[in-house]
């Protein structure tokens, strides 16, 4: 996957380096996250409190949320930074619209949302005390450049607390449906293991290297695991998963009959995980902290 020239734009007069990611997140991917906002927030709920605790936000902090999506973590941070402020940045116009509406509905006045590519976005120098991200940092074309840019926005001694996924095989919520689907459809071309995508930072060694090269110190990585609810039942989970980016990548290149067989196989693979309160599979993440 080639790196587009820094400063290219996507027709909205902002600098964009990650053109392919911007097209996805400001398109079908972002729309899916808006449609299933409550489900996505619930799926990652068990990871959110450890993230916020690691960020150690105090009332006067200025907080930057990278890849804020629909803005839940930004709004939670704003409540903790009650005399400070929280700024969320994301590529998805649809998710940012939802984030702004939810902040207004909650009466939050110390929160702001901006559309931007964090790899090249112009942040105020040393304008923040804390940077956090809940699974929004794995999609950079050049992660060292991205974290260098983000680091410039941190006050000297500022804190970084982010979440990224461990490898796909460590995440049941991906491995189980994906394994079932791949009995019927070819493996999609998603680039190499370090290409932008949910598992680009699955290797803790790479995380340490990237952050160190970007000027961060005291990098620490802790493993977190939690059960994730994919749906009310297997049918509901299959409908949800089929519309995700990975689901579309698997199914769009095959004829409808084969796609349906793949979906049926995923449904049967999820049946053993059905419980009275829904379909639950394990997720595994890295909680990464560092200082500037």
Residue 143 has pLDDT above 50, yes or no: yes
Give the largest Cα separation in the chain, rounded. Answer: 57
What is the pLDDT averaged over residues 165-174? 96
CB–CB of 289/159 below 8 Å? yes
Segments making up each domain of the chain, as ranges: 19-167+192-228+283-291
CB–CB of 285/164 below 8 Å? yes
What is the pLDDT averaged over residues 156-175? 97
Residue 281 has pLDDT above 50, yes or no: yes
What is the pLDDT averaged over residues 52-63? 98
Mean pLDDT of the chain: 94
Instruction: Work out the end-to-end distance of the chain between its first and last CA atoms, rounded to an integer number of angstroms.
Output: 30
Q: What is the pLDDT of residue 46?
A: 97
Give me the helices (H) in 137-244, please. 143-152, 172-181, 204-213, 234-242
Residue 255 has pLDDT above 70, yes or no: yes
How big is the chain by its Cα radius of gyration, in Å? 19
| pLDDT band of 13, cuts 50, 70, 90 | confident
* Residue of 182, 189, 174 whose CA lies nearest to 270: 174
- Domain 19-167+192-228+283-291, CATH homologous superfamily name and number: Vaccinia Virus protein VP39 (3.40.50.150)
Residue 222 has pLDDT above 60, yes or no: yes
Residue 5 has pLDDT above 80, yes or no: no
What is the pLDDT averaged over residues 211-237? 98
| pLDDT band of 262, cuts 50, 70, 90 | very high
Per the model's pLDDT, the better-predicted residue between 36 and 191 turns out to be 36
Q: What is the pLDDT of residue 6?
A: 35
Q: Cα separation of 112 and 94, whole Å?
A: 15
Phi/psi at 56 (5° precision):
50, 50
What is the pLDDT averaged over residues 257-274? 98
Per the model's pLDDT, the better-predicted residue between 189 and 75 turns out to be 75
Q: What is the pLDDT of residue 191?
A: 66
Q: What is the pLDDT of residue 8?
A: 34
Percent of the chain with pLDDT over 90: 91
Q: What is the pLDDT of residue 4?
A: 34
Residue 10 has pLDDT above 50, yes or no: no
Q: What is the pLDDT of residue 131?
A: 98
């Amino acid at each position: 996957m080639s790196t587009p020239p820094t400063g290219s734009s996507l027709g909205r007069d902002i600098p964009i380096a990650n053109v392919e990611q911007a097209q996805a997140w400001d398109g079908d991917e972002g729309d899916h996250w808006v449609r299933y906002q409550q489900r996505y927030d619930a799926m990652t709920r068990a990871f959110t409190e450890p993230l916020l605790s690691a960020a150690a936000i105090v009332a006067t902090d200025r907080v930057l949320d990278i890849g804020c999506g629909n803005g839940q973590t930004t709004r939670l941070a704003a409540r903790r930074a009650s005399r400070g402020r929280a700024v969320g940045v994301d590529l998805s116009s649809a998710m940012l619209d939802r984030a702004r509406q939810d902040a207004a509905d909650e009466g939050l006045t110390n929160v702001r949302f901006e559309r931007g590519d964090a790899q090249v976005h112009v942040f105020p120098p040393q304008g923040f005390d804390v940077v956090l991200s809940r699974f929004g940092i794995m999609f950079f074309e050049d992660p060292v450049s991205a974290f260098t840019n983000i680091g410039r926005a941190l006050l000297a001694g500022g804190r970084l607390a982010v979440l990224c996924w461990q490898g796909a095989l460590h995440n049941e919520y991906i491995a189980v449906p994906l394994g079932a689907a791949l009995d019927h459809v070819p493996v999609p071309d998603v680039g190499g293991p370090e290409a932008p995508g949910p598992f680009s930072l699955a290797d803790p060694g790479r995380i340490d290297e990237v952050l160190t090269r970007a000027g961060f110190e005291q990098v620490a990585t802790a493993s977190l695991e939690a059960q994730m609810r994919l749906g009310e039942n297997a049918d509901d989970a299959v409908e949800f998963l089929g519309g995700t980016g990975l689901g579309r990548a698997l199914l769009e290149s095959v004829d409808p009959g084969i796609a349906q067989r793949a979906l049926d196989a995923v449904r049967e693979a999820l049946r053993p995980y059905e419980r009275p309160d829904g379909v639950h599979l394990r997720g595994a993440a890295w909680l990464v902290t560092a200082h500037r």
